[in-house]
Amino acid sequence: MNMTTHPQSNEPAKSTATDTRRAWMAVLAKAPTDALVRAWGAMSGKPAYRHLRRPETGLVMVRGRAGGTGQRFNLGEMTVSRCAVALENGIVGHGYVAGRDHRKAELAAIFDALLQDSDRRAEVEALVTRPLSEAQAARKAERRRKAAATRVEFLTMVRDR
Amino acid sequence: MTLATTGAIGSAFADPVLDAQRTFRVALEALARPGRLVESPSLNEAGWTIGPAAASLCLSLVDHDTPVWLDAAAADAAAALRFHCGCPIVTDAGAAQFAVIGDGTALGPLIRFTVGTDAYPDRSATLIVEVGELREGGPLRLRGPGIETEHRLTVEGLPDGFWRAWRENVDRFPEGVDMFLTCGARLCGLPRTTIVEG
Amino acid sequence: MYVAVKGGERAIENAHRLLAEERRGDPAVPELTLAQIDQQLAHAVDRVMTEGSLYDRELAALAVKQARGDLIEAIFLLRAYRTTLPRFGASEPVDTGEMVVRRRISATFKDIPGGQVLGPTFDYTHRLLDFTLAAEGAPVAAAEEAEQSVAAMPRVTDILGRDGLFEAETAEDDAPVGDVTRDPLEFPADRDLRLQVLARGDEGFLLALGYSTQRGYGNNHPFAGEIRLGEVDVEFVPEELGFPVELGEVTVTECQMVNQFKGSATMPPQFTRGYGLTFGHCERKAMSMALVDRALRARELGEEAAAPAQDEEFVLAHADNVQATGFVEHLKLPHYVDFQAELVMVRAMRDAAEQDNSRKVAAE
């Protein structure tokens, strides 16, 4: 049984920096591995890093709510891989990504660390997160347009008296 | 709680799987033979603010399902435990399934910790208590399951009157807390079935 | 009583090799790839993920391949694999109101904000075998895209809950969430545990139970308030970070059933709700789950609980197809010693009965 509550997550004081980081971590988590590998390959001045936590795969129990808004319940688990790295300047990056791909978790952690480094953030955003984020938004929009093409208007036929 | 730098995190086991299994085996041995000293597997000590035996026990036994309570002397280990074990750190001792007591002399009443229920005595807290001195032989006489006749032990660094409180814990069986006494890399088990006199 | 049977190692090994050969089939036929199973047998993968209780399309596809399409065997494989992995924790509850919706219909209200979206459905197909699919390589026309994408789609039950005619579902997040994979089920079980068991439960079993409620076993008069399919983000709060991190997205199907309720001492007449949620696109399962969830709420709503679908212990103890198949199928394993004992007993009873008979005959 999990009794964890997370009061920290609602603290408004540091929300801006945390929100920015959450946004890039989300983009990295949703990226295809080969896109991250390509971005890493294209990167000049690759940083040295060491593992605080080598990539590993585990499970996260996915929860839902009764009726969508009610009591929480356990729906089922998903595979998740994670990794933590430290750059030479001491900045720690975390990767938490769905699936079993260790390389992806590691690259997500490295990019998370680099994006926290104000000297490198602009470069990594331009090379990695911005193009990925745009591609993800485009895919989402396409899914939505295809769904919209199947929208129907049901008409209630009024019977003759 | 953002870990901006590595300073707050101690290293974990060199081999997370095998070392956790070794520690588990050691913990099992310690509880099976109460009072016998055993050595915890080697741990890369860098960064830990609690003893290596205590840290090893946490790395093998604690996870996101087991809320941990820390005394003032162990409080600095919070970040490392959150990172390596994924465990919630609780401020209410009664909500903890594990308690890490960095300074045995400041160990408060045992009754603060959860003792389980008659139907589920396993839903009780396990205390990991760092003491100043721990060696075989000496004034304490241990009896009970896992000890053929009597086992002698020396423990220094527990509050006055502790063994009287321990006797109450034993008398509460099947409810009660279990303990690991740690001293650096050494540890011994003290399950709720062990009677200690002396 | 179970007695170990020795021997047969060679036969077992050969049986496994024969299985492997038959699984592969004619080597002249190309072998299935996991990607093909994932893409082209998507509903099989969805079902295996839902009832295997593990969201991982590639692993589910592998399980389907290894099980030669036997989905309960595949679910078993996935459940077994899952036990080899550590659990990092539990996610924040997914918000189906924020879903990227690919399908969303309501059978109760035709005009709903965001509209009715049919999406990829078998509904309104003619159920005629399509022989063009038998010819491989035929190109498939791309799906139409509307110029305007679908706007926000609030859950129908949220919109209609506002006037009080629909039971509100409210959250008490201080309560711990029960987990049948960690703690044995105890009865009576709370709704969190019931929903977990139903989500993992066998589709066929729940379908039959749901159907029984419609046919009068349980006095359930359901409407499909809303069914939606799409992708939701999964967020997780790692202890070391303390804020929610998005792990990725999962496809889910949600069904909100609404049922007329004549009221009780504490509740005025209104519509009550049953809830279904699955991984992937498992619409029949989500609908069945919602019907059975509502039926199992009989006790809490003060209704008479006489029908099988309302019997919590009966439903929850028999919904899991891995447990069920284990107990049913174990009957084929060697029971020689048990049977010998029974044989001796039946012979003795028979001898006694015959002696009894002959005494009666002699007496007459």
User: Any CB–CB contact under 8 A between C96 and chain A?
Assistant: yes
Chains with ≥3 CB–CB distances under 8 Å to B: A, C
Nearest residue of chain C to residue B86 (CA atoms): C239
Half-sphere exposure of C112 (CA within 13 A, CB side): 26
User: Any CB–CB contact under 8 A between A2 and chain B?
Assistant: yes
pLDDT digits (tens, 9 = 90+) for C245-263: 999 999 999 999 999 888 8
| C-alpha closest to that of A75 among C46, C90, C167 | C90
| C-alpha closest to that of C275 among A76, A77, A64 | A64
Distance from C225 to chain A by nearest Cα, in Å?
11
Half-sphere exposure of C236 (CA within 13 A, CB side): 33
CB contact under 8 A, A90 and B16: no
User: Any CB–CB contact under 8 A between A8 and chain B?
Assistant: yes
Three-state SS at C110: coil
CB contact under 8 A, A59 and C103: no
| C-alpha closest to that of A113 among A88, A81, A82, A80 | A88
Q: How far apart are CA A73 and CA A95, in angstroms?
A: 26
Q: How far apart are CA C186 and CA C193, in angstroms?
A: 9
| Helix C71-82 with C321-329: angle, nearest 10 deg | 110
Q: Does the pLDDT of residue C135 top 90, yes or no? A: no
- 8 Å CB contact between C38 and C74: no
Give the residues across from C227 on adjacent strands: C105, C255
Helix count and strand count (H, E) for chain A: 5, 4
Q: What is the pLDDT of residue C156?
A: 87
pLDDT digits (tens, 9 = 90+) for C164-216: 788 888 888 888 999 999 988 999 999 999 999 999 999 999 999 999 999 99
Give the residues across from C230 on adjacent strands: C101, C252
Nearest residue of chain C to residue A66 (CA atoms): C275
Half-sphere exposure of A103 (CA within 13 A, CB side): 11
Distance from B70 to chain A by nearest Cα, in Å?
16
Question: Which chain A residues have a beta carbon less than 8 Å from that of B96?
Answer: none
Read off φ and ψ for residue C104, nearest 5 degrees: -160, 115
Percent of chain A having pLDDT more than 70?
Answer: 86
Q: What is the residue type of B56?
A: S
Rounded to an integer, the average pLDDT of C95-105 is 95
- 8 Å CB contact between A109 and A95: yes
pTM: 0.89
User: Any CB–CB contact under 8 A between B83 and chain A?
Assistant: yes
User: Any CB–CB contact under 8 A between A29 and chain B?
Assistant: no
Question: Which chain C residues have a beta carbon less than 8 Å from that of B7?
Answer: none
Token duo for residue A48: 């040295």
Q: What is the pLDDT of residue A11?
A: 46
CB contact under 8 A, A1 and C182: yes
Three-state SS at B153: strand
Distance from C185 to chain B by nearest Cα, in Å?
14
Signed CA dihedral, C206, C212, C213, C217: sign only: negative
Q: Does the pLDDT of residue C283 top 60, yes or no? A: yes
| C-alpha closest to that of C76 among C327, C335, C334 | C327
| Helix A15-30 with A102-116: angle, nearest 10 deg | 150
Name the one residue in this structure whose structure tokens are 């299985």.
C19
Q: What is the pLDDT of residue B9?
A: 65
Question: Which chain C residues have a beta carbon less than 8 Å from that of A108?
Answer: none
pLDDT digits (tens, 9 = 90+) for C303-353: 889 999 999 999 999 999 999 999 999 999 888 888 999 999 999 999 999
Q: What is the pLDDT of residue C136?
A: 79
CB contact under 8 A, B64 and A52: no
Give the residues across from A152 on adjacent strands: C116
- 8 Å CB contact between C212 and C218: yes
Q: How far apart are CA B66 and CA B113, in angstroms?
A: 13
How are beta strands B151-156 and B133-143 bridged, if at all? antiparallel
User: Any CB–CB contact under 8 A between A121 and chain B?
Assistant: no
Q: How far apart are CA B132 and CA C127, in angstroms?
A: 78
| C-alpha closest to that of C205 among C300, C274, C308 | C308
Distance from C241 to chain B by nearest Cα, in Å?
5
Q: What is the pLDDT of residue B13?
A: 84
Half-sphere exposure of C312 (CA within 13 A, CB side): 17
Question: Which chain C residues have a beta carbon less than 8 Å from that of A155?
Answer: 110
Instruction: Say how many Å lie between the first and final Cα of chain A, rounded.
Output: 61
ipTM score assigned to the predicted complex: 0.93
Alpha helices in chain A (DSSP H): 15-30, 33-42, 102-116, 121-124, 130-148
Distance from A155 to chain C by nearest Cα, in Å?
8
Largest Cα–Cα distance in chain A? 83
Query: In a mutagenesis test of the B interface, which of C186, C236, C239, C245 is the best target, namely the one with the most B β-carbons within 10 Å?
Result: C239
Q: Does the pLDDT of residue A6 top 70, yes or no? A: no
- 8 Å CB contact between B178 and B31: yes
- Residues contacting residue A61 through CB under 8 Å, at least 6 positions apart: A2, A74, A75, A76, A77, C87, C89, C90, C91, C179
- Residues contacting residue A125 through CB under 8 Å, at least 6 positions apart: A24, A115
pLDDT digits (tens, 9 = 90+) for A106-137: 999 999 999 999 999 999 999 999 999 999 99
The better pLDDT of the pair A10, B50 is held by: B50
CB contact under 8 A, A58 and C88: yes
- 8 Å CB contact between C47 and C67: no
Q: What is the pLDDT of residue B139?
A: 95
CB contact under 8 A, C241 and B2: yes
Distance from B89 to chain C by nearest Cα, in Å?
9
Token duo for residue C325: 């198949």
CB-nearest to A67 from C88, C100, C273 is: C273
Token duo for residue C42: 């998507």
**Domain residues of chain A, as ranges?**
17-127
CB contact under 8 A, A90 and B95: no
Question: Which chain B residues have a beta carbon less than 8 Å from that of C86?
Answer: 63
User: Any CB–CB contact under 8 A between C332 and chain B?
Assistant: no
Q: What is the pLDDT of residue A156?
A: 66
Rounded to an integer, the average pLDDT of C217-230 is 91
Distance from A120 to chain B by nearest Cα, in Å?
16
CB contact under 8 A, C240 and B3: yes
- 8 Å CB contact between A111 and A96: no
Largest Cα–Cα distance in chain B? 53
- Residues contacting residue C116 through CB under 8 Å, at least 6 positions apart: A151, A152, A153, A154, C104, C105, C106, C110
Q: List the 218-257 stretch of C: residues with Cβ below 8 A of B.
A: 238-242
pLDDT tens digit at each of 198 positions of chain B: 334 444 456 667 888 889 999 999 999 999 999 999 999 887 766 678 899 999 999 999 999 999 999 999 999 999 999 999 999 999 999 999 999 999 999 998 999 999 999 999 999 999 999 999 999 999 999 999 999 999 999 999 999 999 999 999 999 999 999 999 999 999 999 999 999 998
CB-nearest to B4 from A8, A52, A92 is: A92
Largest Cα–Cα distance in chain C? 98
Query: In a mutagenesis test of the C interface, which of B65, B70, B81, B97 is the best target, namely the one with the most C β-carbons within 10 Å?
Result: B65
User: Any CB–CB contact under 8 A between B88 and chain A?
Assistant: yes
Calculate the CA C160 to chain-centre distance: 28
Token duo for residue C313: 């212990």
pLDDT digits (tens, 9 = 90+) for C5-39: 667 889 999 999 999 999 999 999 999 999 999 99
Interface size, chain A vs chain B, as Cβ–Cβ contacts under 8 Å = 34
CB contact under 8 A, C87 and B63: yes
Mean pLDDT score across all residues of chain A: 89
Provide the residue range defining the domain that includes B97. Answer: 3-197
User: Any CB–CB contact under 8 A between A1 and chain B?
Assistant: yes
Distance from C25 to chain A by nearest Cα, in Å?
30
Q: Does the pLDDT of residue C55 top 70, yes or no? A: yes
Nearest residue of chain B to residue A52 (CA atoms): B11
The total domain count for chain B is: 1
Rg (CA), chain B: 16
| C-alpha closest to that of A113 among A51, A70, A64, A67 | A51
CB-nearest to C242 from B1, B63, B65 is: B1
